[in-house]
Structure 1
Amino acid sequence: LDLASHLIVVLSLQCSMPRSLWLGCSSLADSMPSLRCLYNPGTGALPAFQNSSEREDCNNDEPPRKIIPEKNSLRQTYNSCARLCLNQETVCLGSTAMKTENCVAKTKLANGTSSMIVPKQRKLSASYEKEKELCVKYFEQWSESDQVEFVEHLISQMCHYQHGHINSYLKPMLQRDFITALPARGLDHIAENILSYLDAKSLCAAELVCKEWYRVTSDGMLWKKLIERMVRTDSLWRGLSERRGWGQYLFKNKPPDGSAPPNSFYRALYPKIIQDIETIESNWRCGRHSLQRIHCRSETSKGVYCLQYDDQKIVSGLRDNTIKIWDKNTLECKRILTGHTGSVLCLQYDERVIITGSSDSTVRVWDVNAGEMLNTLIHHCEAVLHLRFNNGMMVTCSKDRSIAVWDMASPTDITLRRVLVGHRAAVNVVDFDDKYIVSASGDRTIKVWNTSTCEFVRTLNGHKRGIACLQYRDRLVVSGSSDNTIR
């Protein structure tokens, strides 16, 4: 060992000993001559002091004596310092109450082994119990602020070892199961809100803490809330919710009749969603996919203009004026809907109806299961280019530069509410939610309208050529244009 190594050893021992043991010195500066005496340049060893007279010799101005270390002197030095630490009494918390608190140290010996120093039994003075009772009596008579100030003062007088002992004593007292305590005070919603911020791994762990935590997780439908949070913030989750169909179980209040899926349904759904996401990401990275083709071309069919699909079927609008419904698994045509006299340019369906728009200027409503035509809407003067419907409302747009807003009481009871005008060219696409209707046109602009009042709100400019496509979701509008940009 070099001198720096010996210095680190001694300073490390100082950190765990009272100041009175620092080689008989009151400061680090005073201890430096002692360190020079300890170090033997000839052997590079630290000898063990046998008595206090050897320490006194270190403070003399005489040149240091040559000390011949005994065998295993480094180990003896460690043990001697440890014995000094154990034999010292520390004054604690008062001038009369004396008790011995022995340091527990784990020393690493020269041969690499470790030795645990076992503390001696704590010794209490004869008057300790009586004085303690007197202190407690006075303490209980003080105000809370005085008690806190007194305890702070006591702690400031203690050594580092005592601080650690008090910390280990207080730590379990400061721990509280607040998730269990909150429902007991009628604050279930706060406990549920706290746990709703957990990720999936942490939520699994929370369920296993105790029965009360599991009950809070289950009653609060926290797995449903976790999936809803992911759908709101992640476009991949949002797309899967629409394509897989499980989005219909989200963002709905729990009905009073208890018909909604339980928390276990969403807990089982989560790993299936993760599996789908991992498969999609793996396919993108590795290029693994299966390509299946549906051949729609015939003597009359020359192109597919629009489509929508789910897990069971594919619905397509064709240039031959028909709507064809295909089985997604077998790729066979299950049904052909006829009635339009022009190309089918746009469509949308839900679990009840299919609504289509055509170049024949009409909008037609079909029964999704029977394939029967239920209604025909005649309003636009030119081709219906796009449409959207949701929650009893439908919006259509046309080459005639207008936008029509419809109220849908039922598939057979659809009435025109308002016609929106303002675009100077064909309106190619529309989208809406409960707050805004957004439309894009060949006039290079996007216009925003109020959904409730149908009043104009603002115009969004930026594209240099006509806008061909648009999507509006979560207050964000994304548009694509013939100017080769996406905005």
Structure 2
Amino acid sequence: MNTSIETATDVVPARRAWLQAMSRGLFSHITSVQEQEEIIFSMLSLLPRSSVAALQSRMTSLLQFDVLGLLPDELAIHVLSFLPPGSLFTCSLVSRSLCGEHDWRWRKPTGVSARESSPEYAIPTSDDDEGMGDEEEDAVQSMLLDDSGYTSMDVDASFATAPGSPSTPTTRPTARPFSPSPRLNHTNAVYCLQLYTYPDTGTQVLFTGSKDRSVREWNLATGEVTRVIEGIHDSSILSICVHNGLLASGGSDHKVAVWDLTNNRLLKVIHDHMDSVLCVRFDDKKLVTCSKDRTVRTYTLPTFAPKHVLAQHRAAVNAVAISPLHIVSASGDRSVRLWDAETGALLKTFENHHWRGIAAIDFKYPFVLTGSSDKHLRLLDLRTSKGWTTSPGSEICQVCGNNTRLIEVRPPAREHEELVRSVALSHELGVSGSYDFTVKVWDRETGALMTDLVVSCGEDQKICIWDFAHGMDTSFVSL
């Protein structure tokens, strides 16, 4: 046993000696430190931006050390006593973060209020939002801070209006009672979801993907979990897509997994991306994925053979949406790009489509709906380059589709007040979800706000299902 310990402890010195020898060989003819720095910088420039960010994060420990922690407790407390209240509060937050990393537990003080101790008001354990990557202007900084948003929702005909029914709801949608079983509920933030109807039985279910690395299938009638898919991803599941009996999932472990729902077995694990997979979408012929590594990848079904790597974006590709003929991608570089799904050709680029990075996209040809970190939505008709936006003082150029400042556009009442994290588009409606804790329903043609829903979802692991047919006779509709 002592031998194994000695062998293990010898690994670091041996590795250090090997690195020193390699460095001497690499820099044997270079004596200037500046020249050595230039060589190292050139090598780093060949790596993906995410890898550079990860290396910078690892080097932090070499550049910093805890002066206060080296002091005896009495001296450290004496030093802290000279700090103003604001600085002391910042130090307490750092201490809390360290406790979370090491799983240290604080003894609860007596007299905690019911609001503070109630699970209903539980404070999220992390502010990280893994579903959106960097924006172009501060790519490395945002990756180091893991500042992100999320992809578009995928809705299984959820917003189709019944024949003969009014296009504008006459009553406010109501939340359908849905009480997940506590024993089988997710144990961390819910990042993605999709409603799905089994074609053979007509049964509608809900699939959810979580930071707890699992996908769950829910019975909407009972609120019970009917299937748990886990053990595939090594970290958070950021996006799911369900179609024709298959479920695809993308995660922060850089993986894409495809699951056969009928036979309940894993079909394929794809590990082509070099960073978190932020969105997955597929139809009968193709699987499309996008990533923080700035690429969109396509695969041919049913073999999942790689087909195209679309690499023209300048920042993380946060979301994709597809049709039989096209792929549209949205990025932190503020652009939307339209691709030919068969050839991979870039058909059109809409630069500066938003003022900040684009977090969400949905596509029903010829209309593209996007949501952004700038708190606004934009709908674009690809045929005419016309549309509407909730952003004041801007219009879509009819020639190039870019933002202009030529005509003042009055935004709808009560636009979102925070980042627009997810969007869904039907033939008559658009739906958006935001960090301001609201879901808004918009008229697809005019951009008019039709209804405003307040929900609780995401970090608190709650799932709210809204019934858009509440108060309407839908007995004549075949579901």
Q: Which structure has more strand as a fraction of its residues?
A: 2
**Structure of larger gyration radius:** 1
Q: Which structure would you say has the larger RCO, counting Cα contacts within 8 Å and 6 or more residues apart?
A: 2
- TM-score w.r.t. length of structure 2: 0.42
- TM-score w.r.t. length of structure 1: 0.41
Q: Which structure has more helix as a fraction of its residues?
A: 1
